[in-house]
Structure 1
Amino acid sequence: MAVEQIANVDKIFFKGLFKNLFSDPIQLEFWDGEVEDFGNDKVKFKIKLNEPLSKADILKDPSLAFGEGYMTKKMDIDGSLEDMITSLYNTKESFLNSHDQLAKLGKFLSHNFKNSKEDVQYHYDIGNDFYRLWLDKTMTYSCAYFKSPEDTLEEAQKNKVEHILKKLALTGGETLLDIGCGWGELILTAARNYKVKASGITLSSEQFTKVNERIKAEKLEDLVDVQLIDYRELKDRKFDRVVSVGMVEHVGQDHLSEYFSVMNKLLIVGGVSLLHCITSIEEGSTNSWISKYIFPGGYIPAIKEIITSMADHGNYLLDVESLRRHYGRTLEHWARNFEKALPEISKTKDETFIRMWRLYLNSCAASFNCGNIDVHQFLFIKGVNNTLPWTRA
């Protein structure tokens, strides 16, 4: 078959694929300059195929194929990347909405101590300097809590920490453990404002170093400590309160039950724990592009998996709250900050890395805003505790 004939066959394939793929009018430009419009209204964004993407790769795993196509500049987007992905999600026929076409990798990945540490370090040990460029001053890398749409990102992150600490109903002198403590904002705030003895653990050496610097700078050595350790390695220690923000997504589907078993051992009777994590509606659904390039070994648990595992280990569920819209707004802040920081980021990162992170931040914002994924706070107790406040307020 002649080259020109092959090119025409490829075009026919992509025209058929893109015809009903978006809820908004789009324009598709091919590698030879030919343009095709889809939709009757004004074009909202333009997709340019700089070269044909592999049809076999698309049919095998469209999320991975298109993600890699964007990363490697085989495909460009003219317009809002978040809006384009939102338009995909808003179409029922979209490959992003077909769970059968997304790779189910999470449940098969090993999460022993070594692999868990390697997975966390792959993402978080890119360097404190990198995250500092686009996170807020608190260096908080999780869903913020906006009391008002006008809140700055820093205000919203401080709101989130206070929201969690109030739910935990802390009393001075109590012990608090933060599993996956990040750069330490929660444990430092808990010690500073509530006078509790706060311990943090992380598998990221970069975070461990930064948290220790912050503890010393604030002269909180008597109240705060941090360890570079897996939560399963904590032995013979009991805490009044245990919190985990954005960490359980790293444990894997087969280890959810183990997580709650360990929580049960770490808590005193009547002890309170808050789990803040990304959730899905269906079990076993993992985006293969994110698993390969952003969070190796990651798994987003279904709400029913969390609640079942929690109950199986004798925990009493007290409160569940969705912060989905808050995470969408958080990611939009991060995406804007990332773009503003490009002059600095580009000094140490190449174009493929930049396009990868741009796609990650914008696709996640679209996912939360469309309701494809959610984020919940689960407040639970080991046994029964009748001394906690009557209301969330």
Structure 2
Amino acid sequence: MDTNKIFYKTLFKGLFSDACEIKFWDGETEKYGQGDSKFKIIFNEPISKADIIRDPSMAFGEGYMEGKFDIEGSVEDVIQSLYNNKESFMRNGEKYAKLIKIIPNSIKKSKKDIKFHYDIGNDFYKLWLDKTMTYSCGYFKSPDDTLEQAQKNKVEHILKKLSLKKDITLLDIGCGWGELITTAAKEYGVKALGVTLSEEQFKVVKERIKNEGLEGRVDVILEDYREIKNRTFDRVVSVGMIEHVGKENIPEYFETVNKLLNKGGISLLHCITGVKKGGTNTWINNYIFPGGYVPAVRELVDNIAEQDFYLVDAESLRRHYGRTLEHWAVNFENAMDEVKKIKDEPFIRMWRMYLNACAASFNSGNIDIHQFVFTKDINDEISWTREYMYK
């Protein structure tokens, strides 16, 4: 028997938490698990045994991109079935994260990494994001909320947590396409500044500020947040940015927020979190988010305490991100005719795997996402209860 096939048959025994079928490159099909098969994996050619042993995430991620195997059924179901099996290599990937050569995220490297992901084209993101162009976890007040409504809910939820007042100053670190800063100015009358390293996002935000008549109240700058000098703010918010700073720069992030935040000021950090420990997926680091690192909750709380900040609130939005990613994955497939006009097949397969794998990771509890609210020194103006966040 083909030694590759022997290895595969052994690998797939007990790998998934659901019944499934595997069709090998020679046409043989084998079923694993009890009951009806939830999905079928079809190997068009074998993936190197050595590659799988060395780093299964990279091997299978690249294998799917290159068309070495196809999936009948839901890509998300396949990944979630792996994550739901706590003995699978997908649940025990810490040792593979060590394979990544850690390069400190200098300002120059950060700019390069952000350009790699966010500057692949506004036209691409417009095809599957909602009208607000918000590329972060939504907030579903109801399971029936549309993606656009969930994104507006998220911004509203964050702004309430920040206890905004007219004419106070707000800094948004990693402001995306500007939904949060423009909404804060229009609804609360704050003076907002967004900072981004993405030239594509910067151009859109500049145009948006002008079109919405917010010049003089909202501004955006194209630079690293660490480059902001001689300015402080009453509020500092960051949504989905700290995952890009790298493990070694997390203390620097909080040190910088401390310098930028006025006494009594409030900061909100919205970010993906590791359940027990921080980590990096080698395939995602190589193809999607170079330089990325998902910090553990305890790691973030320790750094908050290290700066003598007062932690006011922490909230998990794990299920909300799973739902958000499912919306993105559906939108991506629905826009496929247009996507194919601007992207090639390996890119399309890469992003299909990325969106579905992330949805599965959140839905299975492999990773989480939190909003942390903390203050610089004591702030007794915040409401005594959490009611103000939901009214």
The TM-score, its normalising length taken from structure 2, stands at 0.97
Within 1, Cα distance between the matches of 2:33 and 2:344?
A: 36
2:174 matched to 1:190? no
- 1:14-60 superposed Cα distances (whole Å, 9 cap, x missing partner): 00001111111111111111111112311111111111100000000
**C-alpha spacing 1:328/1:317, structure 2 compared with 1 (3 Å):** same
Which amino acid letter does the alignment assign opposite residue 302 of structure 1?
A
Within 2, Cα distance between the matches of 1:96 and 1:295?
A: 18
Which amino acid letter does the alignment assign opposite residue 166 of structure 1?
K
2:376 matched to 1:385? no
Which amino acid letter does the alignment assign opposite residue 152 of structure 1?
T
Q: Could you say what secondary structure the match of 2:280 adopts?
A: coil
Residue in 1 that maps onto 2:337: 343
Q: Which moved more, 1:29-38 or 1:171-180?
A: 29-38
Which amino acid letter does the alignment assign opposite residue 304 of structure 2?
M
Q: Could you say what secondary structure the match of 1:95 adopts?
A: coil
Within 2, Cα distance between the matches of 1:303 and 1:222?
A: 38
Which amino acid letter does the alignment assign opposite residue 239 of structure 2?
V
Within 2, Cα distance between the matches of 1:122 and 1:200?
A: 20
Spell out the pairing of 1:229-308 with structure 2 (5 A cutoff): 229-308=223-302
Q: Could you say what secondary structure the match of 2:312 adopts?
A: strand
- 8 A Cα contact 1:196 1:223, kept in partner: yes
Within 1, Cα distance between the matches of 2:149 and 2:53?
A: 44
| Deviation, structure 1 residue 281 | 2.0
Q: Which moved more, 1:163-172 or 1:280-289?
A: 280-289
Which amino acid letter does the alignment assign opposite residue 232 of structure 1?
R
| Deviation, structure 1 residue 306 | 0.4
Residue in 2 that maps onto 1:175: 169
| Deviation, structure 1 residue 348 | 1.0
Within 2, Cα distance between the matches of 1:253 and 1:39?
A: 39
- 8 A Cα contact 1:62 1:101, kept in partner: no
- 8 A Cα contact 1:104 1:287, kept in partner: no
Within 1, Cα distance between the matches of 2:100 and 2:63?
A: 23
Identity across matched positions, percent: 65
- 8 A Cα contact 1:107 1:299, kept in partner: no
- 1:272-314 superposed Cα distances (whole Å, 9 cap, x missing partner): 0000000002334211000000000000000011011111111
| Alignment partner of 1:119 out of 109, 113, 119 | 113
| Alignment partner of 2:126 out of 106, 124, 132 | 132
Q: How many equivalent pairs are there?
A: 387
Residue in 1 that maps onto 2:213: 219
Which amino acid letter does the alignment assign opposite residue 202 of structure 2?
F
Within 1, Cα distance between the matches of 2:94 and 2:244?
A: 22
| Deviation, structure 1 residue 187 | 0.1
Unaligned runs of 5+ in 1: none
Which amino acid letter does the alignment assign opposite residue 38 of structure 2?
K
Residue in 1 that maps onto 2:16: 22
Unaligned runs of 5+ in 2: none
